[in-house]
A and B are shown apart, each in its own frame.
Chain A
Amino acid sequence: MITLASFSLQLALVLAVYSIVASVVGIQRDKDRIQYSAYRAIYAVAALVTLASSVLLYGLLTDDFSLSYVASHSNRTLPWYYKMTVLWSGQEGSLLFWSWILSVYAMIAIMLNREKHRPMMPYVAATLAVVQGFFLILNVFVANPFQLLGMEQGGITVIQGPLDGNGLNPLLQYPAMAIHPPMLYLGYIGFTVPFAFAMATLFTKQAGERWIETTRRWTMVTWLFLSIGVMLGARWAYAVLGWGGYWGWDPVENASLMPWLTGTAFLHSVMMQEKRGMMKVWNMVLIFSTFYLCIFGTFLTRSGVVSSVHAFAQSAIGPFFVAFLGAGILVSGWLLLERLDYLKSSQQLDSLVSRESSFLFNNLLLLAACFSVLWGTLFPVISEAVQGVKISVGAPFFNKVNIPIGLLLLLLTGVGPLFAWRKTSLGSLKKNFQLPGIISLAVGAVLFVLGVRSFYPQVSFILCVFVSVTIFMEFYRGSRVIAQKSGVSQLEAAVVLTRRNTRRYGGYIVHFGMVLIFVGVTGSAFDADREQEMVVGDRLNLGPYAFELQEISDSDNPNYASQIAVVALYQGDRMIDTLNPERRFYKSSRQATTEAAIRSRFNEDIYVVFSGMTDDQQRAVIKVQSNPLVNWIWMGGLVLIGGTLICLAPSDPGLRPSRRSSSAGNTHTHEPFTPGAQPGMQDEEKDEVPV
């Protein structure tokens, strides 16, 4: 069975190469039959890689420790669902997982488009097959997940694994961590498809609108997966690592953020191409950058080029990635320069106060953020190459650059969608921004009186209110018209409004999700913490709370043994909760972990960590933290997911509300409802928010 899996990977590699050759030959000879054989080869690759992945999964679920990968990363006592996650927890398995997702994506992309975009598809297939071939080379020659273990017995090596495996890293035994990597991978790998379409556009010398139309939805789904992946990573760091934070600017975190930033820039700037025929070259550059940053992220976590606490073991695959990235950037860069004449903009910029301008600044800021993250991440490599001294930069660098960028982006989130295309009139500016401006400044003044006086938190809260009010006003104005005309409730009218133009109103919801995330992140400026060694009965005070250690108990199961501290939480004299932070000792991996106890509320999380016992085993080291508003980050993430799903749903421009009042309904039976045609809104504004 293992030989079959190994062989299927080798055959898949051969077929990927065949697909490249057949695509090229098919194009040159203009033979459909050859081109179709290339597509069928890609389907076969998907089947073969699925087979190989299934065999590895079977090996994991049946504890086949003769497989080196299973012995290194799993063990018998691991619950079955975590055994499944081992598939992507180690170097070899995760690269096979990469290959598998790509093969399925490639198959779907070809199946959906082979008739619709016939001239482009051989080039799309060839590009996908090149990327697939690269990963299959890694699977077959460099990081083979089907290595077997053997034991020396009487001078002969026989296949025999150990009785039990090393086990899965306990830090990865957490529900969010089980789905975080697949989400991130679905995001990373998904960008291969728009990249392939962009390459095909350049090869076929097209003007460039078609690939964007074709891949818009695809890109959005991919971006959604990447967003979920990043959020789950942050959630995991918060809940599992025990330091009470969710983002540490670690290279691995940065690796996932960079393509998200360029992908977000792309989702905004494609609108310029769709609506105004502008930024054609720029959009190519953005999708290329996003794709290469995804590959770079995969490389960064595996090559040991920068040190990271949660990177995979260092291995020899680094040079392969460098070669692939170098060759890819050269080829796509050359092709882009060669085709510049086909990508000329058909329009020009008119005014600084326009939708186009807001997109340009949005792109500038997102790219500046991406560049600063890349620069900071690679600073040790750059400084060593230039100065001969290895220097790293830390959170102060990343925060100093990215906090102002984030706030400017937040401002653009509020103003951009309300600017008209070409030029926005003064009257329209006043109409759209007067009320949000007054309300947000009033809230700012109240916050100042309440004691929020640091510059960045103050600005952030004001902008969050400003953006929220602009979004609310958009929904209110649009739904009021529908409600008045049809007699339905305002809420029902808002639903109808959203369904008529899902992209626009879904986009507003995504923006609102971002606002909630900003509120949550800003809350971290008010974090407070305290640590104390305690014996049973001791109390620790933090702000309005008191924490009393009531008991330390032991527990045991086949996977781990644990010590649990029972901590009573008091507010004044009243006990409001009991928290149970835990120290676990995983038996197989012989590793201790800290399980924080979190009391999550709308306004604040109370985060309690049992750091361990002092060396004399007499006192428990308890750390308590108050993290205001952190929950808003996760809520914002959910709203962002919901908004993106709405954007993905097809719009129904002719949708009418179900009438409750017959008189109101009869009055307007023949009046067409135009999506986004609210009073006070210019014609140019009747389109979507870019998500």
Chain B
Amino acid sequence: MRSGRSKWQFTAGFAIILTTLTWLGYSGVQESKTYYVTVSELLESPDMHENRLRVAGDVVPGSILRTGGRVQFDLEQEDHQLRIVYVGTDTLPDTLQDRAQAVADGRYLDDGTFHAEMVQAKCASKYEAQAPGAAELSTAIPDSY
């Protein structure tokens, strides 16, 4: 820089911007941080109630119930089951089906249910599975065409 003044101005400008953004980032993290927990961890830890949580598991077949704006289903992970209740206006993903891997964000209530504010579901894993009865072969075999 040619002048000490411009250098000072640049440094001050950069510092103000970065400090503000860091503060915004910090408060954003505090506001939205969500702890990943397994279903068993959640059922065993009573101190989880205060935090925003994310649980993942497989949807128990036949457990999805839609009544009014409320959708209820059970998530299963390593032989533990958790009742998820979603009440809201967001359309739940089409991929939320029996046996789908689902993720719920929300809070664990005293009555033992998980109050979800957001539900996501992955496509059922069959997309990457082999065809029934088929075995994958290496390619070092004669042409099939």
Contacts and interface: CB of A to CB of B under 8 A. Distances in A.
A and B from one complex: yes
Interface of A: 1-4, 6, 64-66, 68, 71-73, 90-91, 144, 146-152, 157, 159-162, 165-166, 169, 171, 241-244, 307, 309, 313, 348-352, 357, 360-361, 364-365, 368, 372, 375, 379-380, 389-401, 404-405, 408, 529-531, 533, 589, 591-594, 609, 611-612, 614-615, 621, 623
B21 interface: yes
A400 B27 contact: yes
Interface in B10-34: 10, 13-14, 17-18, 20-21, 24-25, 27-29, 31-34
Contact of A65 (B28, B91, B131): B131
B134 A149 contact: yes
A241 B93 CA distance: 7
Nearest to A354: B6
Given A241-B93, A380-B36, A392-B33, A159 B28 contact: no
A589 B125 CA distance: 11
Contacts of B134: 68, 71, 149-151, 160-162
27 contacts: A2-B145, A72-B130, A144-B139, A148-B139, A150-B137, A162-B134, A166-B129, A171-B95, A241-B93, A242-B91, A348-B1, A349-B1, A349-B2, A351-B6, A352-B6, A357-B10, A365-B17, A379-B33, A392-B36, A393-B29, A394-B105, A400-B31, A401-B28, A533-B68, A592-B97, A611-B92, A615-B67
* Chain A contact surface mostly: mixed
A159 B141 contact: yes
B117 to A, nearest CB: 10
A585 B92 CA distance: 16
Contact of B145 (A1, A390, A393, A591): A1
A592 B135 contact: no
Which 5 A-B pairs give the minimum distances between C-beta atoms? A397-B28, A400-B28, A162-B131, A390-B36, A313-B128
Contacts of A166: 126-127, 129, 131
A395 B89 CA distance: 18
Contacts of B128: 72, 90-91, 313
Interface string B108-138: 0000000000001111111111111111111
Contacts of A71: 130-131, 134
Given A591-B94, A623-B89, A159 B31 contact: no
A350 B139 contact: no
A359 to B, nearest CB: 12
A161 B130 CA distance: 10
A609 B137 CA distance: 44
B127 to A, nearest CB: 6
Contacts of A396: 28, 31-32
Interface in B23-69: 24-25, 27-29, 31-36, 54, 56, 65-69
Most buried by B among A66, A396, A405: A396
B94 A348 contact: no
A241 B145 CA distance: 39
Contact of A66 (B97, B125, B144): B144
Contact of A394 (B34, B121, B138, B139): B34
A401 B145 contact: no
B143 to A, nearest CB: 5
Contacts of A162: 131-134
Given A2-B145, A3-B139, A313 B127 contact: yes
B82 to A, nearest CB: 18
A594 B36 contact: no
Contact of A152 (B17, B124, B135, B142): B135
Contacts of A72: 127-131
Contacts of B66: 612, 614-615, 621
A593 B97 CA distance: 11
Contact of A390 (B35, B91, B103, B133): B35
A161 B139 contact: no
Contacts of B25: 372, 375, 397, 400-401
B24 A400 contact: yes
A304 to B, nearest CB: 11
Contact of B94 (A65, A147, A592): A592
A527 to B, nearest CB: 11
A529 B34 contact: no
A146 B122 CA distance: 26
Contact of A309 (B10, B121, B133): B121
Contacts of A351: 6
Contact of A159 (B6, B24, B126, B137): B137
Contacts of B32: 393-397
Contact of A148 (B20, B92, B105, B137): B137
A147 B139 contact: yes
Contacts of B2: 348-350
Contact of A393 (B20, B28, B127, B132): B28
B65 A615 contact: yes
Contacts of A146: 139
A161 B131 contact: yes
Contact of B137 (A149, A380, A591): A149
Nearest to B3: A350
B139 A313 contact: no
Contacts of B27: 400
B70 to A, nearest CB: 11
A73 to B, nearest CB: 7
A591 B6 contact: no
Nearest to A583: B94
A532 B36 CA distance: 32
A13 to B, nearest CB: 14
A392 B34 contact: yes
A400 to B, nearest CB: 4
Contacts of B89: 529-531, 623
Contact of A243 (B10, B67, B90): B90
Interface in B61-89: 65-69, 89
Contacts of A395: 32
A397 B31 contact: yes
Given A71-B134, A621-B66, A593 B31 contact: no
A243 B91 CA distance: 6
B21 A368 contact: yes
Contacts of A391: 33-36
Nearest to B51: A391
A149 B34 CA distance: 42
Contacts of A591: 94-95, 97, 123-124
Given A391-B33, A393-B34, A591-B97, 18 more contacts: A2-B145, A64-B145, A148-B137, A151-B135, A161-B131, A242-B94, A349-B10, A364-B14, A364-B17, A368-B18, A379-B33, A392-B54, A393-B29, A396-B28, A396-B32, A401-B25, A591-B123, A594-B94
B142 A352 contact: no
Most buried by B among A171, A365, A401: A401
A146 B126 CA distance: 19
B91 A594 contact: yes
A232 B94 CA distance: 21
